[in-house]
């Protein structure tokens, strides 16, 4: 097997296994996998909890796979034209945020058929009860009139995404921790049930940011900032909002009547805590530095303005680069096709290994 992605070629081939496949090798560089759904407008929570961290991971020496998980997004009905538009738009957001296609594999999930095929195989080792217990399924299905089987199966597809790449690390926001834990359970179960030639899967770890793992809505600091609520006025800061919109959103942010500008876990002070957390995550300042930055602030008006300024400074270049990428859809598609080819080179051998170990006749190269 030849893989022209630096570092991947060093992955060991088990001599006893007739199917060329990737096998865990402790000496290989770490691998990371993560993704985002092309639904709704990406927001500041997605940026702080996920994309900003992915960009930082590119300097950590890991081999990274960043995916636009369009198959996940159709677990809830999407307008087809809108979905296609949002999928390309999200690719441009990744690139504009700093995902470098020469250092990371950037691709669309549906371009690599191994994801759906591996999901089927993993479905057959996943007890139904594990899926029925998932918090996200309970929350999302409660909001739907008709719940698709895909919505229940969502975390198994996520497990397939991660396990196909032997990912050691899965950088996600806190809301996805339960799904990564389920992925670990599925991988362990598969390794045990079909472990005749050794383990098939690396057991991945969720990598949750210490600051900004759960950015809350500006209108309601008790609920997480979310794409599905982003049409609610004042709820989310869109990643592509212009400076005036960003400032307006922060000016409307819910605070409290204490007037104190300090980090706090008091639920009544959650609004101010959220603003300080956003500022801290964006600027990279420590808790003490953040509190001293606001020591001479005159009330929450100053706080909101300063947080807005920091977010505008961070997002303005992202918005400008986004507009450039969107002007050249052919180049965008070329990058995505290249990413899909690189992803397939890793995912297909792993799929073949899964099939072989489960007892299927695997022929050809």
Indicate which residues carry an active-site annotation: 140, 224, 227
Please tell me whether residue 58 adopts helix, strand or coil conformation. coil
Nearest 5°: the CA angle 112, 115, 116 is: 110
Residue 153 makes CB contacts below 8 A (sequence gap 6+) with: 75, 119, 123, 131
**Among 79-87, 224-232, 341-349, 357-365, the segment contacting ligand AQP (CB under 6 A):** 224-232
Inter-residue contact 284 to 312 (CB < 8 Å):
no
173 touches ligand AQP by CB under 6 A: yes
Burial class (CB in 10 A: 0-12, 13-18, 19+), 289: exposed
| Rounded Cα gap, residues 28 and 25, in angstroms | 6
| Rounded Cα gap, residues 47 and 137, in angstroms | 23
181 touches ligand AQP by CB under 6 A: no
Q: Looking at beta carbons only, is 206 or 339 nearer to ligand AQP? A: 206
Q: Indicate which single residue of 126, 226, 273, 274 sits in contact with ligand AQP (rule: CB under 6 A).
A: 226
**Helical packing angle, 299-326 and 243-251, nearest 10°:** 150
Inter-residue contact 202 to 165 (CB < 8 Å):
no
Q: Looking at beta carbons only, is 253 or 354 nearer to ligand AQP? A: 253
151 touches ligand AQP by CB under 6 A: no
Q: Indicate which single residue of 8, 11, 28, 45 sits in contact with ligand AQP (rule: CB under 6 A).
A: 45
From the CB of 37, what's the least distance to ligand AQP, in Å? Answer: 4
Phi, psi of 339 (to 5 degrees): -60, -40
176 touches ligand AQP by CB under 6 A: yes
**Number of residue whose CB is nearest ligand AQP:** 49
Beta strands in 42-146 (DSSP E): 63-68, 104-108
Judged by phi (left if over 0) then psi (alpha if -120 to 50, else beta), residue 95 lies in alpha
Q: Indicate which single residue of 103, 189, 214, 338 sits in contact with ligand AQP (rule: CB under 6 A).
A: 214
215 touches ligand AQP by CB under 6 A: yes
Dihedral angle sign, alpha carbons of residues 253, 258, 263, 265: negative
From the CB of 351, what's the least distance to ligand AQP, in Å? Answer: 23
Q: Indicate which single residue of 88, 115, 227, 352 sits in contact with ligand AQP (rule: CB under 6 A).
A: 227
Q: Indicate which single residue of 21, 32, 49, 115 sits in contact with ligand AQP (rule: CB under 6 A).
A: 49
175 touches ligand AQP by CB under 6 A: yes
DSSP bridge pairs for 198: 196
Task: Give residues 314-353 in contact with ligand AQP (rule: CB under 6 A).
Answer: none
Note the residue count of the chain. Answer: 365
Q: Looking at beta carbons only, is 45 or 271 nearer to ligand AQP? A: 45
37 touches ligand AQP by CB under 6 A: yes
From the CB of 203, what's the least distance to ligand AQP, in Å? Answer: 19
**Among 124-132, 180-188, 226-234, 306-314, the segment contacting ligand AQP (CB under 6 A):** 226-234
249 touches ligand AQP by CB under 6 A: no
From the CB of 240, what's the least distance to ligand AQP, in Å? Answer: 14
Q: What's the token pair of residue 351?
A: 């799929």
Q: Looking at beta carbons only, is 21 or 215 nearer to ligand AQP? A: 215
39 touches ligand AQP by CB under 6 A: yes
| Rounded Cα gap, residues 168 and 216, in angstroms | 28
Torsion of the alpha carbons at 290, 291, 297 and 303, rounded to the nearest 10: 60
From the CB of 196, what's the least distance to ligand AQP, in Å? Answer: 35
From the CB of 97, what's the least distance to ligand AQP, in Å? Answer: 12
Q: What's the token pair of residue 309?
A: 């300024």
Q: Which residues bind ligand AQP (CB under 6 A)?
A: 36-37, 39-40, 45-46, 48-50, 172-173, 175-176, 213-215, 224-228
């Amino acid at each position: 097997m030849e893989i022209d992605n630096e570092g991947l070629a060093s992955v060991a081939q088990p001599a006893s296994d007739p199917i060329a496949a990737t096998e865990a090798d402790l000496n290989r560089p770490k691998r990371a996998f993560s993704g985002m759904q092309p639904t709704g407008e990406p927001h500041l929570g997605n940026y702080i909890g996920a994309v900003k961290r992915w960009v930082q991971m590119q300097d950590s020496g890991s081999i990274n796979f960043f995916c636009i998980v369009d198959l996940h997004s159709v677990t809830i009905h999407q307008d087809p034209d809108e979905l296609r538009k949002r999928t390309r738009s999200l690719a441009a957001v990744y690139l504009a945020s700093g995902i470098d296609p020469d250092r990371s594999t950037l691709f669309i999930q549906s371009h690599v058929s191994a994801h759906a095929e591996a999901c089927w195989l993993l479905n057959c080792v996943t007890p139904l009860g594990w899926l029925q217990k998932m918090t996200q399924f309970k929350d999302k299905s409660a909001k739907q009139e008709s719940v698709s089987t895909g919505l229940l199966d969502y975390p198994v597809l996520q497990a397939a995404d991660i396990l196909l790449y032997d990912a050691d690390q899965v950088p996600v926001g806190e809301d996805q921790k339960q799904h990564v834990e389920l992925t670990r359970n599925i991988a362990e179960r598969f390794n045990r049930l079909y472990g005749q030639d050794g383990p098939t899967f690396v057991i991945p770890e969720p990598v949750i940011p210490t600051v900004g793992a759960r950015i809350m809505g500006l209108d309601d600091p008790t609920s997480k900032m979310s794409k599905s609520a982003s049409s609610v006025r004042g709820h989310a800061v869109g990643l592509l909002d212009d400076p005036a919109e960003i400032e307006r959103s922060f000016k409307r942010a819910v605070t409290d009547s204490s007037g104190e500008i300090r980090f706090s876990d008091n639920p009544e002070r959650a609004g101010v805590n959220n603003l300080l957390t956003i500022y801290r995550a964006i600027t990279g300042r420590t808790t003490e530095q953040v509190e001293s930055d606001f020591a001479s602030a005159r009330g929450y008006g100053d706080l909101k303005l300063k947080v807005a300024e920091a977010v505008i400074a961070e997002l303005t270049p992202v918005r400008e680069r986004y507009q450039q990428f969107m002007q050249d859809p052919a180049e965008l598609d070329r990058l995505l096709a290249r990413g899909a080819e690189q992803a397939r080179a890793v995912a297909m051998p792993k799929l073949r290994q899964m099939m072989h170990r489960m007892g299927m006749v695997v022929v050809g190269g």
